[in-house]
Structure 1
């Protein structure tokens, strides 16, 4: 059995991180937060980051395909020699109600949000076992805690599934020194939230004690904490990040 080191503030120098959905709003901020702590970051996504010509290493990756995820992770290990941190930020959201669902949308939501995280675990656990440990962080959602915000039932189910898989993986791979946690954000001002509001980047903070909706940085910094040595005695947990709109 691998015994994880005592928590510390030594940072992430020399650590290698992969982020699925790394070209998205939250994924990009997670990359910045991990880099600020010294990690080398690889972005995995369907599309390259746009706008500012991101110079971080990029690997095309479809999280709904284990073959695609496995190929990307194997390339990172071949180049960098290891993978210490894996963050599952890839996601798609749907506000479709129960009676309007169709099979294609159901499959997409489950394949990306739930199976996408499982595929990431399947790909990173073997190299993490071989090297003696690692950190995995999933992107859940407050939707799974309260039955949805503006999201539909399949999205809620997928994110609830992520929380369950996190607990299972934490129990199963803790003896290998692999710590697995999740964050459950409330609404964050990204393109996904915009899509749930008819294309408007709406900020209605009614019911939020802290007076605003989230920003990608609000999610990225806690993820970096869970990915770092400060959290070496935390596993199997889902951290709620929602401006005080929900208390577990």
Structure 2
């Protein structure tokens, strides 16, 4: 009997030969970086995307050269890794990212849309049209355009595939906590992320049979942004917040061969956030 190692069967990398694009991976303590590490560990080549100016606007600040440091660390272990820097408010950026993956690796099999524009304080009373538009442009519009470009790649791959070969791609979107509870202080973020969850069944139907499409809600995750007071205030049933690796484990499974019969689903990996008291 083979032994399981890190979600794989010993000696077999389930994503060997596959190419993934992971957006929003510019902070090494973030979910995007954890996803990239896990996909690389499972054998995938990975194009890492990031946009440091957004991080620099946040209270927790940017991870100086985090994207390239992550890539260097992964490549030092023999992984095939490349970096793409793009502001996803630009409607041309999604096509450019897909083209970069094709240029670097000759294909694209997996897209994990982890990027997000986050506004730490945006209640209804301070809502502006410009912030709504910007949040939708980054969080929703860019993701839909990215999926559109990926769908064309997968359809072309299916036409060229050997009969009987599995050419099914994978799309994993990331939504947020409004799935299970209100986020009244983050209206533009919550609205734009809720749109992704709501669109998941339609996108899954549009991409079938060339790709699965699923959406993950990672719940409260400790990526260095929350203060000690916030960490203490939000109590989950297992007595801790999520770790970036928790979401990465689920996403790797959805991206792998065992996730091929799951599509159109919004799945929470949140340690029972909805069960908290």
TM-score between both structures, scaled by the size of structure 2: 0.77
Match of 1:127 among 137, 142, 153: 153
User: Does 36-45 or 136-145 show the bigger shift?
Assistant: 136-145
2:16 corresponds to which residue?
13
Structure 1: runs of 5 or more not aligned: 1-7
1:42 corresponds to which residue?
47
Q: Tell me, yes or no, if structure 1 residue 66 matches structure 2 residue 106.
A: no
Tell me how large the CA RMSD over aligned residues is: 2.2
| Whole-angstrom distance in 1 between the partners of 2:96 and 2:68 | 27
Q: Tell me, yes or no, if structure 1 residue 208 matches structure 2 residue 236.
A: yes
Check the 8 A contact 2:124/2:185 in 1, yes or no.
no
Q: Tell me, yes or no, if structure 1 residue 103 matches structure 2 residue 138.
A: no
| 1:57-113 Cα shifts (integer Å, max 9, x gaps) | 101122222312211211211231110000001012233110111222222221121
Check the 8 A contact 2:16/2:42 in 1, yes or no.
yes
1:164 corresponds to which residue?
198
User: Does 33-42 or 72-81 show the bigger shift?
Assistant: 72-81
| Whole-angstrom distance in 2 between the partners of 1:53 and 1:184 | 24
Q: Tell me, yes or no, if structure 1 residue 173 matches structure 2 residue 199.
A: no
Aligned pairs, number: 233
Does the C-alpha gap of structure 1 residues 75 and 140 become closer, same or farther in structure 2, counting only changes over 3 Å?
Answer: same
Does the C-alpha gap of structure 1 residues 118 and 137 become closer, same or farther in structure 2, counting only changes over 3 Å?
Answer: same
| Whole-angstrom distance in 2 between the partners of 1:63 and 1:44 | 10
Q: Tell me, yes or no, if structure 1 residue 155 matches structure 2 residue 160.
A: no
* Greater gyration radius: 2
Check the 8 A contact 1:205/1:211 in 2, yes or no.
no
Check the 8 A contact 1:63/1:119 in 2, yes or no.
no
> Of the two structures, which has the highest relative contact order with CA contacts closer than 8 Å and spacing of 6 or more?
1
| Whole-angstrom distance in 2 between the partners of 1:226 and 1:244 | 20
Q: CA deviation at 1:174?
A: 1.1
Q: CA deviation at 1:206?
A: 4.3
